[in-house]
Amino acid sequence: MSHRTPGAYNKLRFARKNSGFSCMFGGMVVPQSPRVVWALGGGGARGLAHLGVLRVLEEEKIPISGLVGTSMGAVVAAAYAAGGKLDYLSRVATALSWEQLWDFRFPRLGLINGEKIMAVLRLLTKKKKLEELNPPVWVVATDLLTGTEVVFKEGSLEPAIRATISIPGVFIPVKHGNYLLVDGGVVAGVPAGIARQMGADLVIAVNVSYDLTPLPPGNIFEVLMKTAEIMGARLKEVQVAQADLVITPRVGHVGTVHFSRAADCITAGEEAARRMLPVIRRLLGRTHPGPDGCGCVQDEAFTRACDNAGPAGSVKNTPQETAGDTFVNVG
């Protein structure tokens, strides 16, 4: 666990190999076999869309070199990397009565103790340690005392997961060493920058943010969730800009605690990933050498793929021109 710099174990684990480089594109050197780290954002029930995204990645054999997760993104990443089959995890997500997992208590630092939900998560993650997960997973939390990010990279999964799901005011914060930890979404709702530290050649983020609508909240949970979403909206804009590609499943209309919409969220994640497959493939092998043998020119097929992808995602580079809602590097 650390604030910023990957530990020695992970530096070794993610040491770059001299495998040769394809070319330079938009100021970035992309290896022939790039190390792709996925940043899975938080969003409560909306975060179940990550299951649909991962299903497509598996089916299409898209590389997953590492996962960095916040809140529900961390839950999905850990359960998947612990060996959970995506079909099984999807069935659990849709069949589970999540509301029965809220163990309320007299409020002091939070409304929910979190023991019931952790009992389920222990089963899904098989009580594994972070260093036992494959692909590797980092979990992001926030230190309530200093306001800094805390990244779990090794050791027990339990405190890491319990911390990252601790929405302030809803879950009781987690005491861990000198830290008092809450939801990682407070500082890194979409942890693209942290994913870059994992030794990534390419960072692809999955953003499951809530659409800020004028609809009034229906209960205290929705008040707290909506407040957190408003505060985090601008921060997420900055964070997703640190990714090379952003996939945005169409789940913004689903409330944070609306777990009855689990199946819809999973389907939306799958659809978004499939829409972005041409862009992902071009991102993995998107350029060819320029006339001088050392520069690069834009692959027209890559641009066409982005044009066809629509609002499901964006490709980040500078300078940019807009192709619908998708940003395309123009060299």
Q: What is the pLDDT of residue 210?
A: 77
Q: What is the pLDDT of residue 151?
A: 98
Quick check: is 71 catalytic?
Answer: yes
Paired sense of beta strands 28-31 and 66-70, if any: unpaired
Q: What is the pLDDT of residue 107?
A: 61
Indicate which residue of 183, 201, 244, 264 is catalytic. Answer: 183
Q: Which residue has the tokens 């649909």?
A: 52
Indicate which residue of 65, 71, 209, 314 is catalytic. Answer: 71
| pLDDT, tens digit (0-9, with 9 covering 90-100), for 115-161 | 788 888 888 999 899 999 999 999 999 999 999 999 999 999 999 99
Burial readout 203-232 (b: 16 or more C-beta within 10 A, e: otherwise): bbbbbbbbeeeeeeeeeebbebbbebbeeb
Whether a cis peptide bond, with omega within 30° of 0, leads into 311 is no
Indicate if the pLDDT at residue 194 is higher than 80. Answer: yes
Maximum CA extent, the chain: 70
Radius of gyration, CA atoms only, the chain = 19
**208 against 217, higher pLDDT:** 208
Q: Is the pTM of this model over 0.75?
A: yes
Quick check: is 22 catalytic?
Answer: no
